[in-house]
């Protein structure tokens, strides 16, 4: 809990995260459930970067569930880098494809 406080209280992390919609949820139901929300998480999680352990972490995706970047870390610099990568990938998308939810 302490590490999350230090990461998410960082002003640059907050500025970068302001480009996205933040969501936090209980993982058991998302990992094992069959609700639309669980299926969406499972779709995003299936695309996670190599070396990303477990189901926890930061996942940045499009409304349609395309993973832009992810990380599993308590390091502020790593979270900033992940958010920067996600933002660059988002900005490189064709604007007409950005808001197409499944």
Question: Measured between alpha carbons, how far is 97 from 31 in angstroms, rounded to an integer?
Answer: 27
Reported as a single tens digit per residue, the pLDDT across 27-84 is: 888 888 999 999 998 998 888 766 666 778 889 999 989 999 998 888 999 999 999 9
Give me the sign of the Cα torsion angle 45, 49, 53, 58.
Answer: negative
Evaluate if residue 1 carries a pLDDT over 60: no
Evaluate if residue 14 carries a pLDDT over 90: yes
Question: Measured between alpha carbons, how far is 58 from 63 in angstroms, rounded to an integer?
Answer: 16
Q: For 97, which DSSP code? A: G
């Amino acid at each position: 809990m302490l590490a999350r406080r230090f990461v998410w209280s960082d002003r640059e992390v907050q500025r970068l995260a302001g480009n996205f919609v933040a969501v936090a949820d209980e993982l058991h139901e998302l990992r094992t459930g069959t609700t639309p929300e669980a299926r969406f998480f499972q779709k995003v999680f299936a695309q996670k970067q190599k070396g990303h352990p477990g189901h926890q972490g930061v996942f940045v995706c499009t409304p349609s569930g395309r993973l832009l970047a992810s990380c599993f870390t308590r390091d502020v610099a790593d979270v900033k880098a992940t958010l920067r990568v996600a933002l660059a990938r988002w900005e490189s998308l064709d604007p007409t494809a950005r808001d197409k939810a499944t």
